[in-house]
Chains A and B, each alone.
Chain A
Amino acid sequence: MISRRRIAGGLLWSAGLVSAVGSKPVWARTVGSTPDEARALHALNRLAYGPRPADIQAIRVQGAQAWLEGFVAAQLEPQRVALPPMLAGRLQGLETLGLSQAELLSRFQRAAQAAAAAATAGATASPEVGMSNTAMPDGSNAEAAQTRARREHVRPVVLQAAQARLTRAIESPAQLQEVLVEFWFNHFNVFVGKGPVSVLAGAYERDAIRPHVLGRFRDMLGASAQHPAMLLYLDNAQSVRPGYRAPGLLARANPNAGRLSGLNENYARELMELHTLGVDGGYTQQDVTELARMLTGWTVDGRAARQGRSGPLFVFDPGRHDNGPKRWLGHAVAPAGQAEGEWALDILATHPATARHIAFKLAQAFVADQPPASLVSRLADRFLDSQGDLKAVTQELIASGEFWQPQGHGVKFKTPYHYLISSFRALGLATPADVGPLLQVLAQAGMPLYGAQTPDGYKNVASAWMSPEALAQRVQFASALAERRVRQGGRIEADAQGLIDALGPLWSAGTRDAVSSEPAPMRLALLLASPEFMKR
C-alpha cells in the first residue's frame, strides 16, 4: 500500500526536483560530465546499485569532489548511516526477519509434517526434503499437499527475506553494505530450494554474512561454517565418523532408516575450493577427505531446535567426531575435537592461496571481468598483512588507481540483479509492496534471488549474462516499467526528459541525441535499455 502510493507519486523529479520544460536545471543543459562527476557516477555504479535522482542532485549541490569524499567515507562506516525511518519501519513490519533459527526450522517442520500427514492420508508417496523439484508423476496429490503446507508455513519466510533484501538494495543509503552483502552471500552461497535451507537463507544472511562484510574474514568463515543453513546445504550436519549410530528411539525402532554411518565430503571440498583456497589452491583429494574427517561432529542441535532455543543452533557433537589422527595440507593433526575444525579454519583464513582467491573475486566484481594482476596482488597482500580485515581490503580496493581508471568506467555488463535494482533507483521508485513480479523477472533471467543452486553462486562477468535472450528480456523489462508509468498516469514524454535531466551526467551525448529523436512513447524504455544503463 505504502509503496503503491510512492510509485505513483514518488518520482523525485515530479516532486519539484526538475521543473517543467523551458526551465531545465543548469546541468541538464550540459552535455557530458566533468572528470569529478564521472568519478562520482562510477562510485555509484560500482559501490552502489547505480544513481538515484537524489544522488545526482546531491552531487550538483555539494560539488562532485566533496560529495565523493563524503560518500566513500560514509559507505565504509555503514553503522553510522541511519536508515530513513520509513524504510526502517517497513523492514520492521516483516515479522519473520527476526525469528530465531529454531523458530524458522519449526516452520519448516510444520510444513513437512502437514505434507507427510496429507501424503499418508492420500497416497503412498513420501515427501523428499533432501532435494528440490522431486515431483513424481504419480505423487501429485502428496505434492499438492506439500505445496499447500509450504505456502502457509515456508513461503512467507522466503518472501519476506527477499522483500527485505530488495528493499535495502533499492533504498538503503548504506549502499556499499548491500553490494557487499550480495557479494559475500554469493561467495558463501546457500540455495533456498534445498529443503530446510528455504526458511534459513534469510537468517543466514542476517547472522553469518551481513555482520561481517566489513569485518574479519575469519569471523564470516566461522559464522558460515556453523550456520544451520550451510551445515544443511552442504551436508556437513550429517557427516559422521564411520560406524556412528544415531542414539534414540527412532534409530532403535528402525535401524536402517536414514542411518548415518560415515563421512560426507561435500562441505569440506567446497570450503577449500570455493570459500578459501580456490580450486588451484594446492590441495588434494586426500586433503578433502581429511578435512571432512576433522569437521565431523559439526552439526545442527536438533534437540535445541525442538525446544525452541533462541540462540544459534550449531553444536559440536563429540559422539559423531572421527577422533583418529589425520594428515591435512602437510600437517599432522592430533585428535582435538572441535578444535581441529577451528584450527583448520584459522589455517584456511590466513592462507596465501585464500588471499589471492578472495582478492581476485573482489577485483573482478568491482573493477573488471579480467582484473589487473597488479591490483589482485596488492589486495592479496593487504588481506594477508591485515589478517583478513575486510574493511582494510575494501578500502585498499577503493583507494586503488585501477578502480578509478577512466577507461574502466561503464564497462561491466550488469547482472540481472544489478540491472533490476538500478532501474528502480534510476526512476526514484520505492520497492513494491509485493516483490513477487520482481522475483519473477530475476528468475526468468536465470538469476533467482537466493536461488543459485550450486555452491559457487552466480558469476558477475559479461560472458555469463550477455546473450540474445538476456537482451530481449531487458528490453521487455524496460518497456514494461515504462508502460507501468503510463498506466499509473505518468506522462511518458515528461518522464523520459525527467530521467535524462535527473541522471544528467550518466547519459552520453550519443544516447541523449538518439533518444530525443525517437518517438516520445518509447523514450523511457530506450533510456533503460541504453548501453550506459546496461553496463556500469
Chain B
Amino acid sequence: MLRRRFLLSTPAAACAGSASLLWPGWSDAWAGAPIQARSKAAPKLVVVMLRGAVDGLSVVVPHGDTGYQQARESIALAAPSSAEGTVLPLDRLFGLHPALERLMPLWNRGLLGFVHASGSPDPTRSHFDAQDYMESGTPGRKSTPDGWMNRLLSHLPGPASTTRALNMGATPARIFAGPATVASLGLGPRAMDAKAIDNPELQAALARLYASDGSLARTFQETTQSRIEMSRTMAAADARNRQARREAEMAAAAPGDNGRSSDPSADAGAPTARGFAADALRLGQLIQADPHTQLAFTSVGGWDTHVNQGGARGALANRLGSLGLGLESLIQGLGDALEHTVIVVMSEFGRTVRQNGTGGTDHGRGNVMWLLGGPVAGGHVRGEWPGLDRAALADGRDLAVTTDFRGVLSPVLQQHLGLGDAAMDQVFPGFSGPMLKEPVLRS
C-alpha cells in the first residue's frame, strides 16, 4: 500500500536509484522484493532520546521569525539561499540545520516531519527531572515507579514476546522501567558476540544458582530468553546484513583505529557519536529481522551546549551531523520495516532563545520533536508556533510549550499501535489532551 504511494508520488526510477545510493539495501524496500502480506506486519515504534537538551531552535530553525536572528547574534543560522551553510528550506518559517542534509530526502518524500514548540508542561529546567518526567510520562510527578514505554508494552495489543521491546544501551532506561520484560542490546561492534552466559551448561548452573533470588532470577530469565531470540534473529538476517554492517563499521572507524577512540579522555568509554551509526544500524537490523519486536529505545548524549555551540559549523553542527548519520543507519537497518515503523526523536527541554554570554545557550522550555517513518504524515512542521516576541516567551526568555509531548505521542500510540482509550489512560495517566490538532500520521 504504502510503497505504491511512494512510487506514485515520485518518479520510480529516480526514487529507487537515489535511495540505493543513499542506503544500500533500502532500495529493496520500495522497488525490490515482492510483497509478502506486509500489511500484517506488527507496527513498530522507536524512540530516540537526546539527553542534555538539544537546541531545537538550531535543528528546525525559525529563520522567518525576526526574533530569531536578533536573539542569536553569533550563532544564528542564515535563511535559505544558495550560499554555503544556510538552512535547508522546510517551509516559509522554518529551515533544517545544514548538518542534517542527509535527512532531506526523507522530508521530501513525506517521511519526516516535526512538531515545534513541543515539550513538557512541567516548567523544570533540571535535565534530570525533565528527563525523568518525559520517561515516566507523568510530568510533575516523581513518585511514578515505571516508565511509559513499559506500561505501553503491557497494554500493546497482540501476543507477548521476550523481544517485543528492546533497549539499546549498557544500562537500563527509565522509560522502560517496570514489570514487563524488555530485552537489552549492548553497544559497540561486539554487542552481538556470543558470551559466556550463552553457554548452555553455565546457563543451567546459573539458573539453579539464582533460583532463590527473585529479582536476579527474573532478570536472568529475561537475559537468556532474549539472547537466544536475538542471536537467532541476527543469524538469520546475517547474510543479508553482513555487507551493510561492514560498511557502517568501516565508516565508523577512524583512520588507523578500531572505531573507538583509543584516547580515554576523548570519549571516556561512552558511545561515540560515530559509534552511534554502527549501533543504530544493528538496532535497525534487529528490529527488521524480528517480527515480534515492536518497541525500541535508545539515547544519545552530549547536547548540553552552554559554550561555543557554533552555527552552521562547530560543536553542535558536528553532533547533529553524527546524529543524522545515525538515523540514516537506523533507517538503513530497518529496510522495508520502515514502512510500518514510527521513529520519534525527543529531548527533555529546549534551550534559551537568546544566546548566553559564552556563545552557547542555557536551559529553556519548548523544543522540537521529530517523527520519521512510513506511517508519518511528514513534510510539515506541525504545532502552534508561539513566536519569539518577548511577550510570547515563557518566563520572558524561552520558547513556550504549545504542544504537550504526550499530545504528539498519543496519536502514534492510538492510531499506529492500536491502543484503546483504557490503555491510553494507563500509559499517560491523567492526560486527556489537548492532542496536536494536525495529523501526525497518514490516515
Contact = CB atoms under 8 A, between A and B. Distances in A.
A447 B169 CA distance: 12
A451 B126 CA distance: 20
Contacts of A261: 357
A518 B177 CA distance: 34
Contacts of A285: 125, 395
Contacts of A265: 356, 362-363
Nearest to B196: A479
Given A135-B318, A468-B226, A471-B219, A193 B172 contact: no
Interface string A465-478: 11111111101101
A276 interface: no
B293 to A, nearest CB: 15
A467 B184 contact: yes
30 contacts: A131-B318, A133-B274, A136-B318, A144-B255, A147-B262, A147-B263, A151-B262, A235-B307, A239-B358, A258-B359, A265-B356, A265-B363, A440-B269, A444-B170, A444-B187, A445-B170, A447-B171, A450-B268, A453-B268, A456-B127, A463-B177, A468-B184, A471-B220, A473-B195, A476-B195, A479-B196, A479-B202, A511-B209, A526-B209, A531-B216
Contacts of B306: 234-235, 264, 266
Given A260-B357, A269-B125, 7 more contacts: A133-B266, A144-B256, A151-B262, A155-B264, A262-B356, A451-B270, A471-B197
Query: How many of chain B's residues touch chain A, expressed as a range?
Result: 35 or more
Interface string B245-287: 0000000001111000111111111101110000000000000
Interface string B195-224: 111000110011011101101100110110
Interface string A168-194: 000000000000000000000001110
A515 interface: yes
B223 A132 contact: no
Contacts of A199: 265
B171 A464 contact: yes
Interface residues of A, number: 92
A140 interface: yes
Q: Which of B267, B302, B307 has the most CB of A within 10 A?
A: B307
A530 B209 contact: yes
Listed from nearest, the 3 A-B pairs whose CB atoms lie closest are: A443-B269, A262-B357, A451-B268
Contacts of B301: 453-454
Contacts of B215: 462, 466
A288 B363 CA distance: 11
A107 B270 CA distance: 23
Contacts of A147: 254, 257, 261-263, 266
Interface in B340-364: 356-360, 362-363
A252 to B, nearest CB: 18
A139 to B, nearest CB: 8
Contacts of B52: 453-454
A514 B208 contact: yes
B420 interface: no
A131 B270 CA distance: 13
B183 A193 contact: no
A151 B263 contact: yes
Interface stretch (B108-116, B319-327, B375-383): B319-327
B265 A456 contact: no
Contact of A143 (B195, B254, B305, B322): B254
B357 A242 contact: yes
A238 B359 CA distance: 10
Nearest to B170: A446
Contacts of A132: 266-268, 302
B126 A279 contact: yes
B205 to A, nearest CB: 5
Given A235-B358, A264-B356, A475-B196, A531 B308 contact: no
Nearest to A129: B308
A465 B169 CA distance: 11
Contacts, number: 262
Nearest to A154: B265
A472 B197 contact: yes
B124 interface: yes
Contacts of A478: 196
Q: Which of B51, B196, B321 has the most CB of A within 10 A?
A: B196
B86 to A, nearest CB: 18
B32 interface: no
Nearest to B220: A471
Interface in A113-153: 128, 130-137, 140-141, 143-144, 147, 150-151
Given A155-B263, A159-B264, A453-B302, A466 B254 contact: no
Contact of A475 (B177, B206, B263): B206
B105 interface: no
Contacts of B429: none
B137 interface: no
B227 A191 contact: no
Given A260-B358, A529-B209, A472 B223 contact: yes
Contacts of B222: 468
B205 A526 contact: yes
Interface in A491-526: 510-511, 514-515, 518-519, 522, 525-526
B272 A198 contact: no
A256 B311 CA distance: 14
B414 to A, nearest CB: 29
Interface in B314-339: 314-315, 318-319, 321-322, 325
A158 interface: yes
B223 A471 contact: yes
B238 interface: no
Nearest to A261: B357
B206 A526 contact: yes
Contacts of A444: 170, 186-188, 269
Contact of A238 (B274, B322, B357): B357
Contacts of B219: 466-468, 471
Contacts of A447: 170-171
Contacts of A273: 126, 128
A512 to B, nearest CB: 11
A158 B264 contact: yes
A440 B257 CA distance: 16
